[in-house]
A = this chain, B = another copy of it.
Amino acid sequence: MENDVRFKKYSGGHYIMKTTVFMEPGKVELRDLEKPVIEKADDVVIRVVRACVCGSDLWAYRGLEHKPSNSLNGGHEALGIVDSVGDDITTVKPGDFVIAPFTHGCGKCAACLAGYEGSCLAHKDNFSSGCQGEYVRFQHAEWALVKVPGQPEDYSEEMLNSLLSLSDVMATGYHAARTANVKNGDTTVVVGDGAVGLCGVIAAKMRGAKQIIAMSRHEDRQKLATEFGATEIVAERGEDAVKKVMELTHNQGADSVLECVGTELSTDTALKVARPGATVGRVGLPHVPKMDVSAPFGKNVALAGGPASVTTYDKAVLLKAVLDGDIHPGKVFTKKFKLSEINDAYKAMADRKTIKSIIVMD
């Protein structure tokens, strides 16, 4: 019940803030709630500068997944300014400009040390929520937060958009490419043309893939995929898509496959276009009923992936690539909304009027 806003409604004497509340499929709205405070020694409270809507937020908005009415928004991507810090925090201080990853790795357990903080072993509350509001409490912040040099006003709109993408989608696309083991010279297939799939194209190119086949049915996304490095576009779906990829790969299949959707069809397609010995790196939250694992066995195709290693990739490679202007993942944000327009931001994305909606504080 921790996310149920009925238990956190405004009571006199506290600061309040505006944040997004999920009401019912097709409807989110702003509410006045208590501003979050430091609850634990490794908490940081962040004043949000930019947030956005994730494809995973749309499952409930579209009514495809149950979410209780009056519950806090699932928004888990933000850029912000550190507002206050817990006693154990040494890595950031109030006023610092930070990327708030959707993951909250401890940086010390076997999972984090292996670069898999999306599955951190140290705690169970490893993911963000509530970012579509004026403030958010960021738990287990000491290692997980990513400090950005300077202040928001030092950067262009475009750069701020790219920095925001490092809180999830660009890192998640990179995770797909890393877990699919994309190597120099690979033929790589990217299944999914959402923001993550498009960032997967960027990641495949960063890792040296030579032939990058992007599966996309929408013209705006095809265009962006090509701009990001895709060498071929496959607009077909299902068996027709598999056939097309096999033609493009001389009937051998791809060396590496990024599965960036999470449905049964997309997973099936990803496994079928992989050549024997290839790995499918999946990052779409699985909405797959139980799966037959005999076919990938016969083909020696591996199924890897999971929640991304956001902090690891940001610190190691992505922040520098964005700041140096080598990659421009912020281009996935094709419509901008004010916080007060939050329902429009969801709706535009649900109706595919934008690839991804960015939220700027009013």
Contact = CB atoms under 8 A, between A and B. Distances in A.
Interface stretch (A48-56, A110-118, A217-225, A332-340): A110-118
Nearest to A175: B300
A195 B154 CA distance: 64
20 contacts: A109-B252, A110-B252, A110-B276, A111-B252, A111-B275, A114-B255, A114-B277, A116-B276, A119-B277, A119-B298, A121-B251, A267-B293, A279-B304, A289-B290, A293-B293, A297-B306, A297-B307, A300-B306, A300-B307, A303-B303
A110 B306 contact: no
B110 A275 contact: yes
A296 interface: yes
Interface in A96-125: 109-111, 114-116, 118-121
- Report which residue of A297, A303, A305 has the largest number of chain B beta carbons within 10 angstroms of its beta carbon: A297
Contacts of A277: 111, 114-116, 119
A291 interface: yes
Q: How many copies does the complex hold?
A: 2
B302 A307 contact: no
A267 to B, nearest CB: 8
Nearest to A116: B277
A324 interface: no
Interface of A: 109-111, 114-116, 118-121, 179, 251-253, 255, 267, 275-277, 279, 282, 285-286, 288-294, 296-307
Contact of A300 (B118, B252, B253, B302): B118
Given A109-B252, A276-B114, A296 B306 contact: yes
A111 B276 contact: yes
Nearest to A253: B110
Given A119-B300, A179-B300, A300-B306, 19 more contacts: A109-B252, A110-B253, A111-B252, A111-B277, A111-B300, A114-B275, A114-B276, A118-B276, A119-B276, A119-B277, A121-B275, A286-B297, A288-B294, A290-B293, A293-B293, A297-B305, A300-B304, A303-B304, A304-B304
Contacts of A279: 302, 304
A74 to B, nearest CB: 16
Contacts of A294: 286, 288
Nearest to A254: B110
